[in-house]
């Protein structure tokens, strides 16, 4: 299929089978369009949670709402959410009758979109030659959405903030001012929230414009032929990957710290031919605290984990997930029902990945790494500064990665999410918080033939004269990341204030001026027995301060040289 630079070229080529070279070019162009959307969000967003921490994703979808393309750096939990919310938009506004080229739809309904109220989904139609050919959409975490603020201690969704059902923010190009007014009057940081939403709208519209330009350049009326090829090839690649795994039923159980008692994520993973089924029957019931996960968010992390192990290199789209089905009873921790709270559902979502990895490790023991230091704590300082203005300072921390068959785990790396911590200097400039220390934690990586990645410790002090709140959402304090194949566990997480005083791992605490908060993330699990670790590698760890002499004597006393291991 030849590309044409002249606009309005007849579309007789659209019925031809797309040759592999043209398909690769068009496919890459669609991904590049989603990357350009993401770049626009980053450069125009107001809040640090979006601009610095990258807590958003941009996508292109087919007219029926199937995921077609997204940037390479996208949040795993949003993998399913984008297509799910688009299909809910389409059920409310049928494609042929209810969309204008300048419409903008939005919602933050957790059960329709991305699992908690802070994530606002935006979608715009892509018109070309008078017809809808795609949708351009994105989801971004807002700095505030009202209610109790970002926390894990809400008893129902009604405490967690403002809920926006599917609605039009723009109708035929005209903004609906009441929607913006409702938002502005219900959030603590209206400038940041409205600024980020406008950044989302601008990026979605940019994506729509770029798709239409691409179709003109290629001489096509629509994306139908491209979408069929892209989705079918991705599906075929995933099915081929599944066929390379031995058929069987593989189980695993993850134990979370929970609130008053531990919580269980139970998994039966079945691979049969080119199909994979997750069955989370046996998982704990939903609770009246804000860590519950909705079905679509659960699917996103479960499917991501399978793809990461089985076929990590193909781009994310609907085809890659066609062979994967999910069974999870309603009313459970992984398929909550209204009005269950879920503000901090990421603690559960991130725990899904090691549970899936642990099940797949029984089929592919040398492929799957040990458990990583995730879920890592989320710590949110908020209140009013000396001048009375509201502030929010969110620590998106990361622990050590689990070690693998042929490598040590990396220290302080975000996984399975790829959000990152805003630089400490930026947070200090926007809040009455001073960071006294951020450093790697010696002996925190799980010992093994390959050592788990080190945890990090962050120490923050409240400045000024006013008290502020800190809202914490932490896991892995009582149940640290597990090692594999004889490797030992990584170190658990830790939260404290004022040199060892108790700080609730999931809750809200009033801090006085001068109070000091210490946050320590979990370390990654080790892989293989510690006695098999290379002496040169251990000597390097000692030299760098990754392992102490006492820690080495305890865990690696029987480490051997490569010649001795042979």
Q: What is the mean pLDDT of residues 329-355?
A: 96
What angle, 0 to 180 degrees and rounded to 10, lies between the N-to-C axes of helices 295-310 and 224-243? 70
Q: What is the mean pLDDT of residues 479-494?
A: 96
> Are the CB atoms for 63 and 134 separated by under 8 Å?
yes
For residue 565, pLDDT over 70 is answered with: no
User: Which range scores top for mean pLDDT: 46-60, 310-324, 439-453?
Assistant: 439-453
Average pLDDT, the chain: 92
**Strand pairing of 506-511 and 468-473?**
antiparallel
Instruction: Report residue 8's pLDDT band, with 50, 70 and 90 as the boundaries.
Output: very low
b/e string for 511-538 if b means 16 or more Cβ within 10 A?
beeebbbbbbbbbbbbbbbbbbbbeebb
pLDDT of residue 14: 40
Spatial neighbors of 81 by CB under 8 A, at least 6 apart, are 113, 114, 115, 119, 121, 139, 296, 297, 300
Q: How many CB atoms lie within 10 A of CB 342?
A: 27
Helix (H, G, I), strand (E, B) or coil at 38: helix
Q: How far is CA 374 from the centre of its chain?
A: 12
Q: How many CB atoms lie within 10 A of CB 155?
A: 15
* Cα–Cα dist 178/173, whole Å: 15
For residue 120, pLDDT over 50 is answered with: yes
Peptide linkage before 416 cis (omega within 30 of 0): yes
For residue 75, pLDDT over 90 is answered with: no
Higher pLDDT, 370 or 79: 370
* Cα–Cα dist 112/186, whole Å: 21
Q: What is the mean pLDDT of residues 196-224?
A: 96
243-302 confidence digits (pLDDT tens):
999 999 999 999 999 988 999 999 999 999 999 999 999 999 999 999 999 999 999 999
For residue 126, pLDDT over 90 is answered with: yes
Half-sphere exposure of 384 (CA within 13 A, CB side): 6
How buried is residue 186: exposed, middle or buried, by Cβ count under 10 Å (0-12/13-18/19+)? middle
pLDDT of residue 11: 37
For residue 473, pLDDT over 90 is answered with: yes
Q: What predicted TM-score, i.e. pTM, was given to this entire model?
A: 0.92
Instruction: Report residue 16's pLDDT band, with 50, 70 and 90 as the boundaries.
Output: low
Q: What is the mean pLDDT of residues 87-105?
A: 92
Instruction: Report residue 18's pLDDT band, with 50, 70 and 90 as the boundaries.
Output: confident
pLDDT of residue 13: 37
Instruction: Report residue 411's pLDDT band, with 50, 70 and 90 as the boundaries.
Output: very high
How buried is residue 497: exposed, middle or buried, by Cβ count under 10 Å (0-12/13-18/19+)? buried
For residue 1, pLDDT over 60 is answered with: no
504-559 confidence digits (pLDDT tens):
999 999 999 999 999 999 999 999 999 999 999 999 999 999 999 999 999 987 65
For residue 227, pLDDT over 80 is answered with: yes
Q: What percent of the chain has pLDDT over 70?
A: 96
Q: Which of 17-31, 191-205, 300-314 has the lowest mean pLDDT?
A: 17-31
> Are the CB atoms for 319 and 233 separated by under 8 Å?
yes
pLDDT of residue 563: 47
How buried is residue 34: exposed, middle or buried, by Cβ count under 10 Å (0-12/13-18/19+)? buried
Instruction: Report residue 151's pLDDT band, with 50, 70 and 90 as the boundaries.
Output: confident
Instruction: Report residue 79's pLDDT band, with 50, 70 and 90 as the boundaries.
Output: confident
Measured CA angle at 243 (ends 237, 244), to 5 deg: 95
Q: What is the mean pLDDT of residues 323-335?
A: 97
């Amino acid at each position: 299929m030849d590309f044409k630079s002249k606009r309005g070229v007849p579309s007789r080529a659209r019925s031809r089978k797309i040759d592999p070279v043209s398909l690769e070019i068009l496919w890459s162009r669609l991904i590049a369009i989603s990357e350009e959307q993401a770049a626009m969000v980053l450069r125009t967003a107001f809040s640090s949670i979006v601009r610095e921490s990258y807590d958003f994703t941009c996508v292109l979808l087919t007219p029926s709402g199937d995921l077609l393309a997204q940037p390479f750096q996208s949040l795993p939990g949003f993998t399913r959410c984008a297509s799910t919310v688009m299909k809910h938009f389409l059920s409310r506004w049928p494609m042929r009758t209810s969309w204008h080229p300048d419409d903008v739809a939005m919602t933050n309904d957790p059960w329709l979109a991305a699992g908690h109220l802070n994530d606002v989904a935006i979608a715009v139609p892509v018109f070309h030659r008078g017809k809808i050919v795609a949708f351009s959409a994105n989801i971004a975490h807002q700095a505030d959405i009202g209610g109790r603020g970002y926390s894990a201690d809400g008893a129902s969704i009604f405490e967690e903030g403002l809920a926006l059902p599917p609605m039009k923010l723009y109708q035929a190009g005209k903004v609906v001012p009441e929607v913006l007014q409702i938002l502005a009057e219900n959030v603590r940081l209206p400038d940041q929230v409205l600024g980020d939403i406008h950044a989302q709208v601008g990026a979605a519209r940019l994506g729509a414009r770029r798709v239409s330009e691409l179709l003109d350049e290629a001489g096509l009326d629509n994306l139908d032929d491209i979408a069929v090829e892209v989705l079918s090839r991705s599906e075929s690649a995933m099915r081929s990957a599944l066929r390379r795994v031995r058929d069987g039923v593989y189980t695993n159980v993850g134990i979370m710290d929970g609130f008053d008692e531990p919580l269980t994520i139970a998994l039966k993973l079945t691979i049969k031919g080119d199909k994979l089924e997750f069955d989370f029957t046996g998982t704990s019931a939903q609770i009246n605290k804000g860590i519950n996960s909705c079905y679509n968010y659960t699917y996103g992390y479960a499917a991501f984990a399978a793809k990461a192990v089985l076929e990590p290199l193909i781009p994310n789209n609907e085809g890659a997930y066609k062979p994967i089905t999910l069974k999870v009873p309603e009313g459970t921790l992984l398929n909550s029902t209204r009005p269950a709270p879920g503000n901090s559902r990421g603690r559960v979502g991130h725990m899904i990945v090691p549970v899936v990895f642990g099940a797949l490790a029984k089929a592919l023991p040398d492929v799957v790494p040990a458990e990583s230091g995730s879920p890592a704590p989320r710590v949110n300082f908020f209140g009013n500064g000396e001048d009375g203005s509201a502030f929010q300072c969110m620590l998106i921390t990361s622990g050590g990665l689990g070690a693998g068959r042929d490598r040590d785990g990396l220290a302080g790396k975000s996984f399975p999410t790829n959000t990152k911590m805003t630089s400490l200097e930026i947070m200090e400039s926007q809040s009455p918080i001073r960071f006294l220390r951020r450093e790697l934690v010696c002996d925190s990586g799980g010992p093994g033939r390959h050592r788990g990645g080190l945890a990090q410790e962050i120490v923050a002090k409240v400045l000024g004269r006013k008290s502020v709140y800190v809202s914490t959402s932490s896991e892995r304090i009582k149940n640290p990341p597990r090692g594999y194949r004889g490797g030992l566990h990584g170190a658990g997480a830790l939260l404290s204030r004022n040199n060892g005083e108790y700080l609730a791992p999931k809750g809200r605490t009033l801090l006085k001026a001068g109070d000091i908060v210490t946050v320590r993330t979990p370390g990654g699990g080790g892989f293989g027995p510690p006695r098999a670790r290379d002496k040169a590698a251990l000597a390097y760890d000692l030299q760098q301060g990754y392992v102490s002499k006492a820690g080495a004597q305890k865990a690696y006393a029987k480490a051997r040289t490569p010649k001795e291991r042979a």
